[in-house]
Amino acid sequence: MATWFDESRLDDETALAGGDLRLRTLAESGARVRRAAGDVAEATAEAVVRAEDLARPRAVVAAGPDSRLLRAVLEPWCPVPFVAWPAPALPGWAGSLDLVVVLAPDGADTGAASAVAEAVRRGCQVVVACPPDSLVAEHAAGRWSTILPTAVRDQLATAVVVLDYLCRVSLGPQADAESVAAALDDVAIACSPHRDLAINPAKMLAIALADATPLVWGGSVLAARAARRVAESVRRSTGRTALAGDAEHLLPVLEAARQRDVFDDPFAEDTGDRRPVLLVLDDGAEEPVVREQRGRLQAAATARGVRVETVTTEAPTEVARYASLLLSGTYAAEYLRIGLVED
């Protein structure tokens, strides 16, 4: 069954009501970060005081399935060796000299629980962000363990409270929860379903992606992670193809795109052969490598007549910029879902 995109649905109250639950969840992203920060404020303060009496850890291990976000933030910054270990275990060398941090937003993941239990058994310093009455919290009980009690069950909000702790013990960059929440609120206001299509960046982006295959690219480590998450959101929302990758992965796709034919019939039946569109998530990174890769991608797109769409952010911190780019792309994916109609 063929599908087509009806942009009028993006300003239609009835159509938008069908996506109200998802749009409301996106709009509350900033509130969840603030709530998580408030929930753990006392426990974080106690953990920081306790850390003052301990030596700096030999290494930091981010364990469990949600460790990759911590890696994207900490790997370029952490003053001690850092490793992300998503397996339900720990590296063989991890021990009492090391700090193990675990994100467990819903607290029920058996892999995270297994990693926490092993860290406690080995005598590691352990910091776990999870619901206080969860499976992971039960396995975290130990002399050198700290539980940051979250209840929002949101990966980003849970990561922010752990990053805030690591910042306060000089093991991570600034990750102020309020700056992240404010950045998310700014996106929610700009991309609100109540804002007209003409001044709503997420609705305009959805229209740009409607007849194309998105190739999503971010130059920095965090922007690249946001690109993968945005592509995943597009696939889940629409069932369509969306790719994210490094420049060398996306360049062959751009270079293989056929030139647009001005004689193509715009009203011809959709064959499913959609041209690519390059979606750049720009977090302001200006390293020479990032500039060079962005230039190559844009030059290839121009040479093949491929559209380039750019999402930018002016958030003050790295984590806030990541959150802003991710939420902007997720809003666009949801509006793309709302606008698609089965023929």
Q: What are the tens digits of pLDDT across the range 27-81?
A: 999 999 999 999 999 999 999 999 888 889 999 999 987 788 898 899 888 999 9
Instruction: Assess whether pLDDT exceeds 70 at residue 261.
Output: no
| CA separation for the pair 103, 127 (Å, rounded) | 9
Please report, for residues 3, 39, 280, the alpha-carbon distance to residue 218 in angstroms, rounded to integers and kept in the order given: 29, 32, 6
> Nearest 10 degrees: CA dihedral of 80, 225, 115, 87?
-110
Q: What are the tens digits of pLDDT across the range 265-323?
A: 555 555 456 899 999 999 999 899 999 999 999 999 999 999 999 999 999 999 999 99
Domains contained in the chain, CATH given: 3-28+180-261+268-342 (3.40.50.10490), 57-170 (3.40.50.10490)
Burial of 123: CB neighbours in 10 Å, binned 0-12, 13-18, 19+: middle
Q: What is the pLDDT averaged over residues 124-132?
A: 94
Q: What are the tens digits of pLDDT across the range 140-177?
A: 998 889 999 999 999 999 999 999 999 999 999 888 89
Instruction: Assess whether pLDDT exceeds 60 at residue 263.
Output: no
For helices 177-190 and 318-339, the axis angle rounded to 10 degrees is 30
% residues pLDDT > 70 (the chain): 95
pLDDT score, position 174? 86
Residues 6+ away with beta carbon under 8 Å from 73: 159, 163, 172, 173, 175, 222, 318, 319, 322
